[in-house]
Amino acid sequence: MPPDLRMGDPTPAGATTAAVVIPSTVTVEAGARYMVRAFTLGGAITSGLLLSATGVTSTAANIEWVCPIGESIIITIPIGKTTLYAAGESGVAVISLSKLQ
């Protein structure tokens, strides 16, 4: 879901928190907002990444966000969750994660 247009441009709180090859799990802060960017390592994939804070992405009911390759999305980690699960085409998809203020 795109952010509310009234909120203005998000401001990164600091450096990139993580840039990891997919599939992966990343430790995140509960309740925090993150900007997620999906990109490839030169592979010919055209899909996106599947993200979840509630469980592994191999179960469709757990997928909470989808980030298309070459795009950025803003997500809010649910209270009580500290792990972000990311899945895509193994070895060629990468996620860049930046915490927002």
pLDDT in tens, the chain (101 residues): 445 444 444 555 554 555 666 678 888 899 999 998 888 766 666 667 778 888 776 777 777 888 888 888 999 988 988 888 888 766 667 778 888 87
| Predicted pLDDT at 67 | 85
pTM > 0.85 = no
Q: What is the per-residue pLDDT for 8?
A: 46
Cross-strand bridge partners of residue 46: none
Omega before 12 within 30 of 0, i.e. cis: no
Nearest to 95 by CA among 19, 12, 14, 16: 19
Domains of the chain: 16-99 (2.60.120)
The 3-state DSSP class for residue 84 equals: strand
Quote the DSSP letter at residue 3. P
The pLDDT value given to residue 45 = 60
Report how far apart the first and last C-alpha atoms of the chain are (Å, whole number).
19
